[in-house]
Structure 1
Amino acid sequence: MSIPAGLVLVYMPDRGVGDLMWHLPTLRAIAATTPERKVLLAARPSSRARELLAAEPCVEAIDYLDYRAGRLRHLVEIVDFYKLCRLRRPRAVWILEKIDRPAIGAALAGVRERRGFGLGHGQEAWLTHGPHLPRAMRPAHRIEKLAAFEAAHGLTVGSREPALIPVPAALETVEQRFGHLPRPWVVYGVGASEPRRCWPLENFTRLSADLADIGGTRFWLGGFGDSAAVDAALATDDVGGVNVCDLKLDVGAALLARADLFIGNDSGPLNLAASVGTPAIGLFGDSPPLDYSRFLKPIVGPPGGMAALSVESVAAIARLSL
């Protein structure tokens, strides 16, 4: 597919699936200011943007920029962005981050309009349009920074709901594989990027046993590295369910879109569940709870981390949500 020159290119920082969901309202708002109603997206592979945004109408194309290592990594990242700008020939670049490398690369490539967070870092010298976010916002949460940036640049965001559009082919896969299984569908999100964010797996098995009288089907969703532990838990505890740790991310998002409830750790699947409009109970230990979506119900554990969060309290809220 030929990609037209002259579109607006948006750079998204090196973060994961949850951050991609938080940025969706901003991407759409930027696209809405353009005659094409579309933008190009430059993101890190860890965002999985190509899989998740395949059905997003405001994104024309997605380019991945690899994270570079070594002493010359910053110089190489400048060159990477310079090459991308020379390839795509955008008329403007919006940098949803404070780092200077994409701003420098865009300037060297001759992009005349360059906007970014700033935040008092070296990026500001390479931007052509302000205003920049004040230094006082450096410790603010990413969602707060995005909201402030949108307001400063006159972007209209009616809602922070990501409203992710599932990929149609992935929805068909879910129907073919799981459509015959009884309702309600409850998805347990048992993985996370850090161990401290994980509720013990045995707590999920106890929760599933507690909710057995509700009937339906339980799906156990985590990363590929969680699959063996989930298999062992399902085999020994007789709690039942389907191990879906092997699902591709777009199919996982489609499953979440068809589910009746998600219960899980502070993780990408939690954000995906809320983003597709499925009621999502998020389990939080010492990380700040998220509340950007009306579909997200955070449960914050008592002092002592995730392990101190009781099965009974989670089960009670789950029953109210079904």
Structure 2
Amino acid sequence: MFDSLLTSSVSFSESMTEPLLHAEAVERHYHSTQEYTPLDPSNILVSLLLPIGDTLFATPALGALRRQFPWAKITVLVSRSNAGILTNNPNFDHMVVLDANVTEHRVRNLARGITELRQRKYDLILNLSPVGRIVLMMAGLNQKQLHVDMPPLWWLIGGHSEEYRSRHAVDQYLQVIEPILSQPLTEEERQPKLYLAAHDRSSARRKLRDWGLSPAHLLITMHVGGDGFNGRKRWATARFAQVANHLIDRFNAHVLLTGGKEDQALCEEVVAKVPRNISSVAGLTSLRESAALIEMSALFIGNDSCPLHIAATVGTPAVGIFGPSNHEQYRPIGKPTHRQRLVHSNLPCSPCFHFIGNDAPWVPNTCYSFACLKAISADDVTQAALELLQDPRED
């Protein structure tokens, strides 16, 4: 059905030293703290009840908040799933972890967290997630809050404005704190941050030894899963296997398939099609151990999901596979020297998944054809990988 779409519908985006954000972001007007009350908050709450990747996108905003109010006590509100992204982050003082899964002890945990929020007085509240608004209301925190800018009536009619669709996800969160910033951020300050510790790296190295490997091997990490957009951002496992076989044959590389327990079945599909030099470690490592493994790797290949963005923060060259998601809004941001290739289709219906700028929440997206991902061949991704694995001095 889609054969006619597969011949010339793939594009590559290269990123090394290009600007992190669109020009629109640079032209913004920043305000002094005198234009916002309170002038000198002593207790700040930041609601970060977000997916893991979005939490990483929000770290530049958290860092800017700390620089603006270095003496304030900053509390972050997170869920159990995304708390690990903020471990060792120096830009907050206290963490409240909610666990809203419906079991008896988790309901008690949720109630305990809401009670803790209710008992504290906050001078300034930043809410970076829709679900955060509900939790804050449950905690009786109804004062004025800074929040993510959304199109008018987005919940009723959606928001297809190019103003929103052209703004990077990092920018969406930075815009929340613009009213209280005294100066714009530098390029380095706009980069998402993940703070790995020595024990994260040593733990990952121990596991490599247990698997008969070491950082001396040419390691390639792949992430074949991803729950975002109901799993519709996942490239075919058979094509991941084709890429793995080519790179193993060419470089005698060893491929590690990372992910959570929910990714194990997909990883096993890949392993079954690759006869040698491949290990599925999905569900066997913590989030931070996975990040350390990505850091040790010569290359990362994956769908538009959190591990792709972790690769950018730790400086590992990466190939990102983008199907329905907007590769401009979700482009990984690393240091100016970070090398990556984003492979995406040019189908007229793609992208259909945006950070902000989608149809109204009540309008179902019924496309399960995966046409935008089928338009990306194994050869497309292999070529992008080969460009990154060659000697950089030959570029």
**Normalising TM by the smaller chain, what interval?**
0.7 to 0.9
Determine if the alignment matches structure 1 residue 161 to structure 2 residue 191.
yes
SS in structure 2 at match of 1:211: helix
Q: What CA deviation, in whole Å up to 9, does each residue of 1:217-237 have, x standing for no partner?
A: 211113313324433532453
Instruction: Name the counterpart of 1:258.
Output: 296
Deviation, structure 1 residue 102 = 5.3
Alignment partner for residue 310 of structure 1, among 370, 374, 377? 377
Tell me how far apart the structure 2 counterparts of residues 233 and 138 of structure 1 sit (CA, whole Å).
37
In structure 2, the partner of 1:241 is 278
Counterpart check, 1:297 vs 2:341: yes
- The counterpart of 2:238, out of the listed 197, 202, 223, is 202
Q: Cα distance 1:54–1:88, how it changes in 2: closer, same or farther (>3 A)?
A: farther
Structure 1: 5+ residue stretches without partners: 70-76, 123-134
Would the alpha carbon gap of residues 31 and 287 (structure 1) be closer, same or farther in structure 2, given more than 3 Å must change? same
Aligned equivalent of 2:326: 288
Aligned to 2:77: 42
Percent pairwise identity: 22
Q: CA deviation at 1:205?
A: 1.0
Deviations 1:180-199 (A, max 9, x none): 43432211111011332111
Q: What CA distance in whole angstroms lies between the structure 2 residues aligned with 1:321 and 1:138? A: 32
Cα deviation, residue 200, structure 1: 0.9
Q: Distance in 2 between matches of 1:157 and 1:102?
A: 30
Contact 1:205-1:239 at 8 Å conserved across structures: no
Distance 1:34-1:205 versus aligned 2 partners, 3 A rule: same
Q: Give 3-state SS (helix, strand or coil) of 1:287's partner.
A: coil
Partner residue in 2 for 1:27 = 62
Equivalence for 1:185? 219
Give distance in 1, aligned partners of 2:281 and 2:308: 15
Moved more, 208-217 or 176-185: 176-185
Cα deviation, residue 101, structure 1:
3.6
Alpha-carbon distance in structure 2 between the residues aligned to 1:33 and 1:121: 29
Counterpart-to-counterpart distance in 2, 1:168 and 1:291: 28
- Report deviation, 1:103: 5.5
In structure 2, distance between residues paired with 1:44 and 1:262: 27
Residues 321, 342 of structure 2: 8 Å contact kept: yes
Change (3 A) 1:103 1:178: closer
AA in 2 matched with 1:214: F
Instruction: Using structure 2 for the length normalisation, give the TM-score.
Output: 0.65
Q: Tell me the equivalent position of 1:224.
A: 261
- TM-superposed CA distance for 1:105, in Å, is 5.7
1:84 is the counterpart of 2:122: no
In structure 2, the residue matched to 1:131 is none
- Tell me how far apart the structure 2 counterparts of residues 214 and 273 of structure 1 sit (CA, whole Å): 21
Query: Cα distance, 1:163 vs. partner?
Result: 2.5
User: In 2, are the aligned partners of 1:80 and 1:105 still within 8 Å (CA)?
Assistant: no
Q: 1:321 corresponds to which residue?
A: 388
- The residue type equivalent to 1:293 in the other structure is I
Match of 2:174 among 147, 150, 162: 147
Amino acid of the structure 1 residue aligned with 2:191: E
Deviations 1:77-132 (A, max 9, x none): 9x8876333444433222224664455467x4597x7433465889xxxxxxxxxx
Amino acid aligned to 2:55: L
Tell me how large the CA RMSD over aligned residues is.
3.3
In the TM superposition, what is the alpha-carbon distance from 1:265 to its structure 2 partner?
0.7
- Residue 93 of structure 1 aligns with which residue? 125
Deviation (angstroms), 1:269: 1.3
Residue 152 of structure 1 deviates from its aligned partner by 3.2
Larger mean Cα displacement after TM superposition, 305-314 or 172-181 = 172-181
- Work out whether residues 225 and 259 of structure 2, in 8 Å CA contact, stay in contact via their aligned partners in 1: yes
Residue 392 of structure 2: aligned partner: none
By relative contact order (CA 8 Å, sep 6+), the higher-ranking structure is 2
